[in-house]
A and B are shown apart, each in its own frame.
Chain A
Amino acid sequence: MSTAAISLPRFRRRVLPGFGLSLGFTLAYLGLIVLIPLSAAFLKTAGLSWADFWAAVTSPRVVASYKVSFGISLLAAMVNAVFGGILAWVLVRYTFPCRKVVDALVDLPFALPTAVAGIALTAIYAPNGWVGQWLDPLWAGGVNRLAGWIPWIDWQNWLGSKVAFDRPGIFLALTFVGLPFVVRTLQPVLEELEPELEEASATLGANRWQTMTRVIFPELLPALITGFALSFARALGEYGSVVFIAGNMPQHSEITPLLIITKLEQYDYRGATAIAVVMLVASFVLLLLINLLQKWSRRYYRV
């Protein structure tokens, strides 16, 4: 049956009307809204000499912002991979009251405007906030103690001396925005996971730890990496929720998207565009990687 369907003669494919209209409209709209404006960024940068471009994207303040953006996004994505993984497991495998509510709430970072998330997180983790008022002294004390034990690393600089208005605040905001990705990529895979697999493993004498680490975890790995990459990509570009809680100190807690805005406000369009091109290339590479990952995981799960 299916082979017959595949080998249908070519003309049969265009029985439905509207191909030209819908494809034409799609391409025109895509071109006008997405491709032409995006190409403007690259064309504007092409007007720069290589030396100017290089100087714009490697000045100390810009490099410091890459380190903050990439470093903290990576950390937030890793934390999301671990905790989002546990959350997905709990949501799929366990029954508990309000499970449906928690499941729906996972999408909150998609639905809540980022500015609202930003000021809400700031209100909670600020020095006088609900959590901040006891977490702040705890954090400062912990960082001081670390500095006492391992004095050759500048812990105050790396970890920040407070939670909100410093690097930990950026981490909190980026974890918030990336939270749904790991959960939502893992959930369908976990739901499809057949209990027979685990039963077979148990029958063959594996204990529960071995089943979890050697049978279930490898099954989940492609989806986990995809979720991690999605969460990282989202965190890298995030602006709204971060600016309120970051403190925004140049060379310390300034993220790259904020630096682009700062340059724009100083009418440094070339500088802003050059940095934007670097970020665009980074996110396109990530997008490509994510697409390859999804192809891999689709093949992986079909077998």
Chain B
Amino acid sequence: MALTATSTLASKPAPRGTGPRVIRNPVWVRVVFMTIALLFVACFLVLPLAAVFTEALRKGISPFFHSFTDPDMLSALRLTLLTASIAVPANLVFGVAAAWCIAKFEFRGKSLLITLIDLPFAVSPVISGLIYVLVFGAQGWYGQYLNAEAPWLPGLQAWLIEQDFKVIFAVPGIVLATIFVTFPFVARELIPLMQAQGNDEEYAALTLGASGWQTFWRVTVPNIKWGLFYGVILCNARAMGEFGAVSVVSGHIRGETNTMPLHVEILYNEYNFVAAFAVSSLLALLALLTLLLKSLVEWRAHKGTA
């Protein structure tokens, strides 16, 4: 998915033919391959998932539910939801705009632009957080601006100081870091999809007298809605689950700048395993829901093209 140029939704599945006997592997090879593949899946995918829920329920049902009444946990949940509700729409609007200009028009430097959009996927989450510390931290550009003797826009500086507006170790930094790490998701999904669809339907709408926005809302959006949804659920899963980047900029203030994944870390380091896994189980459920929705969209898209 990440970094790959092909959209899952733009490609068609081949029919699964078993084929004639000559191109089948001997039975023992098939058995060995199946065993290796399923063991690999069991060790690395099924076991961790099972472990999350088992560890969460280790002491029984009531300690499990008790973990969710902790006010710090609730504030972490609120912050995670807030962060995702800003980051996902922001990247959604960006993704649509980027896909529109890249897929519908020809211009110089297009492939460079596509590569630049991919950039955040290539950057380590820790470095994604670090760069925001460098820009907005006390030592960074923003800190220098606040301490400057003769700043540009002195009114803005005075206002920011008066409001005590902080970015790093505060909510805005968490939101920015999350936007950075989830930056390419929607765009990567939409660009190949819209390129595959071409411009003919939009041309037809314009010829029939539709305005630009009418064409966009009534022709383009219905065509890309599943790709849009697909990009959004992946973007949302990452936004709610991001750990490394958010960890660098958050400052880990309990009840204030802790997102759910960071809360998991704190509980775990306090040896409060049941609570850590209880919060984790909520995140794991979110992951499972994401996978389910993703499979449904893929299934729908393939049925549509078949």
Contact = CB atoms under 8 A, between A and B. Distances in A.
Interface of A: 13-19, 21-23, 25-27, 29-30, 33-38, 40-41, 44, 83, 86-87, 89-92, 94-96, 100, 102-117, 119-121, 123-124, 129-131, 172, 175-176, 179-181, 184-185, 188, 191-192, 195, 198-199, 202-203, 208, 211-212, 226, 230, 233-234, 236-240, 244, 257-258, 260-261, 264, 269, 272-273, 276, 279-280, 283-284, 286-287, 290-291, 294, 298
Contacts, number: 309
Given A40-B141, A86-B40, A116 B280 contact: yes
A250 to B, nearest CB: 17
A284 B23 CA distance: 41
A106 B305 CA distance: 24
Contact of B287 (A113, A212, A240, A287): A113
A249 B176 CA distance: 31
Interface string B129-151: 01111110101110000000000
16 contacts: A15-B206, A30-B113, A100-B295, A105-B41, A109-B45, A110-B238, A113-B240, A113-B260, A179-B45, A202-B23, A237-B123, A238-B124, A240-B243, A244-B265, A269-B133, A273-B130
Contact of A26 (B36, B40, B98, B176): B98
Given A105-B46, A115-B261, A237-B125, A124 B22 contact: no
B212 A108 contact: no
A257 B10 CA distance: 35
A26 B113 contact: yes
Contacts of B16: 92, 95
A101 B55 CA distance: 23
Given A41-B130, A106-B45, A108-B287, A30 B117 contact: yes
A208 B25 contact: yes
Q: Is the interface of B mostly helix, strand, loop or mixed?
A: helix
A107 B1 contact: yes
A40 B128 CA distance: 11
B155 interface: no
A204 to B, nearest CB: 11
Nearest to A41: B131
Interface residues of B, number: 111
B276 interface: yes
Contacts of A198: 19, 22-23
Interface stretch (B59-67, B71-79, B99-107, B221-229): B99-107
Given A16-B206, A260-B130, A283 B122 contact: yes
Contacts of B20: 195, 199
A123 B6 CA distance: 36
Nearest to B203: A15
Contacts of B287: 108, 111-113, 116
B49 A120 contact: yes
A33 B179 contact: yes
B45 A22 contact: no
A116 B262 CA distance: 10
A27 B234 CA distance: 23
A117 B46 CA distance: 11
Contact of B243 (A15, A114, A192): A114
A199 B5 contact: no
Given A22-B98, A96-B34, A110-B237, A124 B51 contact: yes
Contact of A86 (B36, B115, B140, B176): B36
A257 B126 contact: yes
Interface in B166-180: 176, 179-180
Interface in B152-202: 176, 179-180, 183, 199, 202
Interface in B1-19: 1-6, 11, 13-14, 16-19
A124 B212 CA distance: 56
B301 to A, nearest CB: 14
Interface in B21-36: 22-23, 25-26, 29-30, 33-34, 36
A264 B23 contact: no
A258 B247 CA distance: 11
B44 A179 contact: yes
A236 B6 CA distance: 23
Given A120-B280, A239-B126, A33 B97 contact: no
Given A89-B33, A105-B45, A113-B287, A261 B126 contact: yes
Contacts of B216: 18
B120 A34 contact: yes
B127 interface: yes
Contacts of A176: 44, 48
Nearest to A291: B115
